[in-house]
Amino acid sequence: MLSRFGFGKPTGVALQGETAGLFKPASQWSARSKPTIAMGQEVAVSAMQVMAAATAIADGGVLLKPQLVKKIVSPQGVVVKEFGREPLWEVISPDTARTMLGWMETASWPAGTAHRAAIDGVRISAKTGTAQVANPKTGTYSAEDFVASMIGIFPTDDPRYIVYVAIQNPRGQSYYGSQIAAPIFRSVALGIIDKVGIPRAGTKPGAPPDNVTYAPPVTIGDSMPDLKGVPKKLLLPLLLRSDLNVTINGTGFVTRQTPAPGTPIQAGASIVLELR
């Protein structure tokens, strides 16, 4: 399926030296390759490959070949050559593509990781990412370098644009795509929307599509809740609390927490969450 989305080979865009990325054939996978590849390890892709793969979700399941030039026009205004839409193959069914768009749209809602990318009146399907970067000297993943990213497809009800933002090795208070890539996406998307005249009057994020549910983000009141087993994405809003000092170590799900569940919480309290 990953190969059908175009990973592991160049997209064929008219650029010299396009990378194929890193994606070993299944015959070279280890016993743990399936779970690690599923969460983005053992594979590396280019921004162009990410954009091309997203066309399958935006275009009813059909992968499109990316192109740099729409048409060539002579000085006299005559169209010398025009490059039309070039479908490659069906990756997923139209129903699956619509379902994915619906799930991705919830990310731009107030409780979602991409809520900083939301634009009133325009439905946006989004996915944020915070990817580990390999350290070539040690052969392991770096503890300091990351790629913060966000991809957004809009309008969700009639997809016309895909914007992908990637920040390599960010330095500052945050390295999460949800916090630093999403606002950049919003700025770019607003420029496109205003320039091409996409209507912004209409609905704001509302009820989820049929059969789509999502857990609410974690909140901390007067006492410390039991957060064991909670995924990282539901913890991210805690980092915005100015009255608490929240530290999240690792990725995955909470395995340990300080203070213990039931501990009274006051302003200025320090909270440490260990994830695996």
Q: What is the pTM of this model?
A: 0.72
Q: What integer pLDDT is reported at residue 98 of this predicted model? A: 94
* Closest-CA residue to 42 (of 126, 131, 164, 130): 131
* Closest-CA residue to 64 (of 23, 16, 13, 124): 13
CATH number at 115-203: 3.30.450.330
Round to whole Å and give the CA distance between 22 and 134.
12
User: In the numeric block, which tokens belong to residue 227?
Assistant: 């957060």
**Domain chopping of the chain, boundaries:** 1-69+83-92, 115-203, 232-275
| Mean pLDDT over the full length of the chain | 90
Position 173 pLDDT exceeds 50: yes
Reported as a single tens digit per residue, the pLDDT across 183-239 is 999 999 999 998 888 888 654 444 444 555 556 778 999 999 999 988 888 898 898
Q: Can you name the residues that pair with 87 across neighbouring β-strands? A: 64
CB atoms within 10 A of CB 131: 17
Reported as a single tens digit per residue, the pLDDT across 117-128 is 999 999 999 999
Name the fold adopted by 1-69+83-92: Beta-lactamase (3.40.710)
Highest mean pLDDT among 68-72, 109-113, 182-186: 182-186
Reported as a single tens digit per residue, the pLDDT across 73-105 is 999 889 999 988 899 999 999 999 999 999 999
Q: What are phi and psi of 213, to 5 degrees?
A: -130, 155
Half-sphere exposure of 167 (CA within 13 A, CB side): 21
